[in-house]
Every structure is written in C-alpha cells, then in structure tokens.
C-alpha cells in the first residue's frame, strides 16, 4: 500500500520580527536610561551640616587635590582664569559660578580662586558641598 507523501511547507525565517524587537529594546533603553555627567577629575566635596540645594551654575570650576583648575572642561592655570572668565561675565553679569573643590584643597587656594572670580566680575558664587549623613546606632 502506497501512501501519498504530504508535502511539507518550507519554513522561512524572517528577520523582520527580530529587527522590530531590537528597535523597541533600543528605544526603551534610550528613554529609560539616565545619562549622568561625569567629572574630568575625581572630586570629594567637603561635608557641610546645612546648606541650600541649588542648580549647578552656568560656569563650573573644578579644583582638584593635585592643584589643577578646570573651568568648563578646560584645564586653566591660575593666572589665566581671570582672562577666561572676564568676557563671559561681561556679557552676562548675573551668571552663577559653581565651584566644586575637593575637601583636601587648602583654604588659601580656594580664596585665591574666589578672588579671581570676583576680579573677573563674578557676583553669584555657589560652592558645592555634600550633606552630612546622620547615622543612628542602636
């Protein structure tokens, strides 16, 4: 007895669903992921017991523990800082200048930077600190 063989359908693999799923995943992770700005040098700000939470200023100055000064992502010698800030502050005198200094930076270096900002025409200064964590031991 001869049985007729059934013809099997040829299976076609389509890449369209895989492309769709990968695009949806890409869009999801682009929207759901948070982009955090990283600092050029590691900075551990000093601890303060109180303070006011403010937005970062328009001009950001980083003071590292190796005596480096970075103004808006550019390494600047102390002598050049006033020349670099003056044109920006003449255009917009109300710009907020944010200083992020490492806790190990000497106070006299911080005062030099603040004086240079004042001589360049800066009036609004914000210093970044981290809040003191209160720990309870029971």
- Residue 138: pLDDT band by 50, 70, 90 thresholds? very low
- Residue 56: pLDDT band by 50, 70, 90 thresholds? low
* CATH numbers and ranges of domains, the chain: 47-131 (3.30.420.270)
Please write the tens of the pLDDT for every residue from 17-39: 999 999 999 999 888 877 666 66
Q: What is residue 99's DSSP assignment?
A: E
C-alpha 25: how far from chain center: 26
Per-residue pLDDT at 51 = 64
Q: For residues 59, 122, 125 and 36, what is the CA-based torsion angle, rounded to 10 degrees?
A: 0
> Which of 88, 86, 92, 96 lies closest to 60, judged by CA?
96
Q: What is residue 116's DSSP assignment?
A: H
Per-residue pLDDT at 20 = 93
Q: Which residues pair with 63 in a beta bridge?
A: 69, 101
Please write the tens of the pLDDT for every residue from 77-130: 888 888 888 888 888 878 888 888 888 888 888 889 899 988 888 888 888 877
Per-residue pLDDT at 64 = 84
Q: Please report how many Cα atoms fall inside a 13 Å half-sphere around the Cα of residue 135, on the Cβ side.
A: 1
Q: Give the chain's mean pLDDT.
A: 80
Q: Is the predicted pLDDT of residue 52 greater than 70, yes or no?
A: no
Per-residue pLDDT at 55 = 63
* CA distance readout (Å), 58 to 61, 84, 97, 127: 10, 14, 6, 13
């Amino acid at each position: 007895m001869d049985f007729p063989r059934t013809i099997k359908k040829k299976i076609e693999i389509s890449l369209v669903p895989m492309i769709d799923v990968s695009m949806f995943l890409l869009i999801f992770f682009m929207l759901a992921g948070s982009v955090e700005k990283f600092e050029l040098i590691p900075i551990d700000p000093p601890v303060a017991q109180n303070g006011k939470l403010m937005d970062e200023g328009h001009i950001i100055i980083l003071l590292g523990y190796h005596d480096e000064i970075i103004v808006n992502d550019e390494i600047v010698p102390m002598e050049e800082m006033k020349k670099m800030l003056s044109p920006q502050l003449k255009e917009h005198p109300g710009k907020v200048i944010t200083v992020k200094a490492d806790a190990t930076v000497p106070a006299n270096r911080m005062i030099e930077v603040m004086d240079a900002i004042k001589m360049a025409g800066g009036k609004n200064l914000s210093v970044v600190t981290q809040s003191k964590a209160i720990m309870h031991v029971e």
